[in-house]
Amino acid sequence: MKNLAITTKHIDQFDKKKKFSCDTYHIEWHELDTWMNAPRVQKGMTSSLDGSKGFTGTESLQESRDLMRDGWQEGVDMLNHGLTHEIKDSGIEQAEVWETAPVGAFPIVPLYNAGVDEHMLLPSEEHDEPIVDMIVDVASISSVSAKQMMNRGIAIASLINHIEQSGKRVRLQARWGTRNHRQGGKEAYQFMIMVKDAHEHMDMGRVAFAIGNPSFSRRVCFKMLECTAHKHMGGYGSTLNLDEVQEIGKDVFYISELPYQEKHLFSDAQGAHDFTFKQWNAELERSV
């Protein structure tokens, strides 16, 4: 993939026990626009261009690119509304305990976007805060609604805010994985997209688009698959979780795809929040 962004890291993996190979691409956010301009390897795979707005979240791949580049303001507004009005224990009500900090402090972004003056958090001068590596699967089956995906995005933004208020930093990657079940299941692909590095402030528009807008999964990631698939994939395969590809390290907090059997829990922001925080608390218990 040398015709794509120069810093894209491509790894070929082959699991002898599971007898399938997985092409893995590590992608920086700024590289995504280059991927959108890249030629398709599979000319017959054009689902990134097609599909109703109800399924994809946007009218076109171009609209998706614009939101990715310029920010998804509607998503930011929904995140802010969810964090300030729909979640009971998001931490927003604790705003009065914070004081405006000197230049160089980290903002508590949901508070900042909500218009709260006391929104700054001063990190230690040594920058030695623990880092939480968070990987979120953004692929989902077609019956998962845009509203459920947005509520999940609100919950994850709330969790990131909670973790960073506790004195840690979060590195957030969006992951999209698929397995070519129509070719004997021997080929798989995964894209690891850096949404927020540990040293970066949380860009609410970016988080909202990557985690909460189905257009990221069903246009942007579809387009990347169209540029890399070795064979034509009708239906674009089936979702592939990270633990099916590799062992997940103890220092990684992995959130798999929005669970089909429990998708009703994501019908509102509070339900999504409770489910996501339950996962995080279980992770903390395992780490003790």
Instruction: Write the DSSP symbol of residue 57.
Output: S
Q: How far apart are CA 129 and CA 169, in angstroms?
A: 6
Top mean-pLDDT range of 172-176, 212-216, 247-251: 172-176
**Is the separation of the CB atoms in 255 and 137 below 8 Å?**
yes
Can you name the residues that pair with 178 across neighbouring β-strands?
Answer: 189, 239
Residue 25 lies in a domain: no
Q: Classify residue 21 by burial, with Cβ atoms within 10 Å: 0-12, 13-18, 19+.
A: middle
> pTM of the prediction?
0.81
Tell me the residue type at 168. Answer: K
pLDDT number for residue 183: 56
**Is the separation of the CB atoms in 4 and 227 below 8 Å?**
yes
Residue 38 lies in a domain: no
- Per the structure, the count of domains in the chain is 1
Q: Which residue has the tokens 């692909």?
A: 189
Q: What is the pLDDT of residues 228-283, one digit of tens each?
A: 999 899 889 888 999 888 888 888 999 999 888 888 999 988 899 899 999 999 98
CA distances from 102 to 123, 169, 175, 199, 238 (A): 10, 19, 35, 17, 49
Residue 99 lies in a domain: yes
Residue 140 lies in a domain: yes
Q: What is the pLDDT of residues 120-133, one digit of tens each?
A: 555 544 556 789 99
Residue 105 lies in a domain: yes
The number of residues in the chain equals: 288
Q: Report residue 96 as tokens.
A: 């009065």
Residue 32 lies in a domain: no
Q: What is the pLDDT of residues 37-62, one digit of tens each?
A: 999 999 999 999 998 888 888 999 99
Exposure string for 159-174, b = 16+ CB within 10 A, e = fewer? bbbbbbbeeebbbbbb
Residue 266 lies in a domain: yes
Q: How far apart are CA 191 and CA 178, in angstroms?
A: 9
Q: How far apart are CA 223 and CA 172, in angstroms?
A: 21
Print the domain residue range for 153: 46-174+190-216+249-287
Residue 225 lies in a domain: no
